[in-house]
Structure 1
Amino acid sequence: MGRSRRTLPEELLLLALDPTTGTTAQPQSLDLGLAGAQLVELALAGRIAPDGDRIAVVAPRPTGDPTLDCALELLRRRGAPVRAVNWIGGPRLGLRQTYLSHLERCGMVHAVAGQMCGVLPTTRYQATDNEISREIKARLDSAIRTGVPPDPRTAALAALAHAVGLGKHLYPGNEGRSSRSRLRDLIRHDPMGGLVAHAVMDVQNGVAAQPRRSPAPAGRQAAPGARPAPEPARGVPMQPRRGPMARAVAH
């Protein structure tokens, strides 16, 4: 993969970067979004493909991007296809900082050292060329304004921006409400982007950690924490339960 095109993780991070404060919007969910953006970028590069709600490696050869290749190798080591929600919900500590440092090496941002309360050291990041961020957002604006289905890359970027909560950062206030709604609607234009975006939202909502439960029988609702009654073995009739009256008669 050449460097003539910015990757989706890079574009998502540049969208999240506040030019005034030098900080990123939605830092808690941005790591999840960056992990999802890696999956979409690898899919666009033909290295992975969706398999239902899972991700399968179809071409393990390197892309030339060290950060993407690290993710690709981890996926390859899994052997079997992995659920997107489990992959995105896995440990991704420092992914945002990894990409900030990467953008700094590429010359797209520069670090500004500072202090919080005059004591704690801080690092803020300023874009070296705000035109890049404006061009990225202009693609989203065009898709929202015209209603024309965007290309898969822009559709996936819109889906991820919505999933991590960048809508209010990009289109703030009441005047941005309709744009935020249309940003959400762009999810349907890219299947891979939609799969990953929904996985990001599921992780934030804790869906990945909740096991599936069997529904209670019709007309009855299982009590919270109650264990389901064991099913009889096939071909063996269910024996009646012996209550207190039955035991009294037996004696």
Structure 2
Amino acid sequence: MGRSRRTIPEELLLLALDPATGTTAQPQSLDLGLAGAQLVELALAGRIAPDGDRIAVVLPRPTGDPTLDSALELLRRRGSPVRAVHWIGGPRLGLRQTYLTHLERCGMVHAVAGQMCGVLPTTRYQATDTAISREIRARLDNAIRTGVPPDPRTAALAALAHAVGLGKHLYPGNEGRSSRSRLRDLIRHDPMGGLVAHAVMDVQNGVAAQPRRAPAAGPPGPGAGRQPAARATDGTPGVPAQPRRGSMARVGAR
């Protein structure tokens, strides 16, 4: 994959950067969005493909992007297709900081050291070329304003921006309500982006489900028959929904 084109994780992070404060909007959900954006980028590169609600590796050849290739290798090691919601909900410690450092190395942002309460060291990131961020934002604005189906990259970016809650950052207040609604509607224009965006929202809403191990054979316990089995979101009986996940580890810019 050539480096002349910005990746969707990079563009999502640039959209989330607040030019006034140097911090990222929606930092906790953004971590999930970046993991999802990697999946979309790998799909656009022909390395993975959706298999129902799962992700399958179809071409394990490296892309040339170290961060994407690390994700691709982890997917390959799974050996079988993995549910998108489980992949996105897995630990992604340092992913946001990895991309911030990458953007700094590419000259798109620069780090500004500071202190919180005059004691705790902090790092904020300012865009060095605001024209890049304006171009990314203009693509979303154009898709929202014209109603013309956007290209797959823009559609996926819009879906992820909505999924992580950037709509209220990009289009705030009552005056931005219709734009936020149209941003949400763009999710239907890219199947992979839609799959990943819904998985991101499912993780945030705590509806991801994992199969429960079959109980050991034996006589029923004293509580048998008193409580019906939980049902997963796909209707499978006996699969309890996961509890809502806690906050992601805080890394990089706040």
Distance change (3 Å), C-alpha of 1:240 and 1:108? closer
Deviation at 1:109, TM superposition (A): 0.4
Normalization by structure 2: what TM-score?
A: 0.84
SS of the residue corresponding to residue 93 of structure 1 reads coil
For 1:125, the equivalent position in structure 2 comes to 125
- Give aligned pairs, total: 247
| Residues in 2 aligned to 1:247 and 1:23: alpha-carbon distance in whole angstroms | 12
Distance change (3 Å), C-alpha of 1:2 and 1:118? same
**Identity %, equivalent residues:** 90
Task: Provide, for residues 120-163 of structure 1, a one-character-per-residue CA deviation record: whole Å limited to 9, x for no partner.
Answer: 10000000011100100000000000000000000000000000
Deviation at 1:243, TM superposition (A): 47
Task: Provide, for residues 58-86 of structure 1, a one-character-per-residue CA deviation record: whole Å limited to 9, x for no partner.
Answer: 00000000000000000000000000000
Deviation at 1:166, TM superposition (A): 0.1
For 1:95, the equivalent position in structure 2 comes to 95
Would the aligned equivalents of 2:188 and 2:194 in 1 still touch at CA under 8 Å? yes
SS of the residue corresponding to residue 92 of structure 1 reads coil
Deviation at 1:93, TM superposition (A): 1.1
Distance change (3 Å), C-alpha of 1:218 and 1:103? same
Structure 2 residue ranges without an equivalent (≥5) = 216-222
Distance change (3 Å), C-alpha of 1:114 and 1:145? same
Does 119-128 or 234-243 show the bigger shift?
Answer: 234-243
Task: Provide, for residues 7-56 of structure 1, a one-character-per-residue CA deviation record: whole Å limited to 9, x for no partner.
Answer: 00000000000000000000010010000000000000000000000000
Deviation at 1:249, TM superposition (A): 75
Structure 1 residue ranges without an equivalent (≥5) = none
Would the aligned equivalents of 2:140 and 2:154 in 1 still touch at CA under 8 Å? yes
Q: Compare CA radii of gyration and give the structure with the larger one.
A: 1
Distance change (3 Å), C-alpha of 1:242 and 1:61? closer
SS of the residue corresponding to residue 238 of structure 1 reads coil
SS of the residue corresponding to residue 248 of structure 2 reads helix
Distance change (3 Å), C-alpha of 1:61 and 1:118? same
For 1:31, the equivalent position in structure 2 comes to 31
- CA-atom RMSD in angstroms: 13.6
For 1:22, the equivalent position in structure 2 comes to 22
Would the aligned equivalents of 1:232 and 1:238 in 2 still touch at CA under 8 Å? no
Distance change (3 Å), C-alpha of 1:196 and 1:243? closer
Normalization by structure 1: what TM-score?
A: 0.85
1:14-163 counterparts in 2 under 5 A?
14-163=14-163
Would the aligned equivalents of 2:204 and 2:245 in 1 still touch at CA under 8 Å? no
Would the aligned equivalents of 1:163 and 1:198 in 2 still touch at CA under 8 Å? yes
Task: Provide, for residues 175-224 of structure 1, a one-character-per-residue CA deviation record: whole Å limited to 9, x for no partner.
Answer: 00000000000000000000000000000001114769999x99999xx7
Deviation at 1:234, TM superposition (A): 19
| Residues in 2 aligned to 1:187 and 1:204: alpha-carbon distance in whole angstroms | 17
Would the aligned equivalents of 2:54 and 2:81 in 1 still touch at CA under 8 Å? yes
Distance change (3 Å), C-alpha of 1:226 and 1:137? closer
| 1:8 matched to 2:11 | no
| 1:202 matched to 2:202 | yes
For 2:226, the equivalent position in structure 1 comes to 220
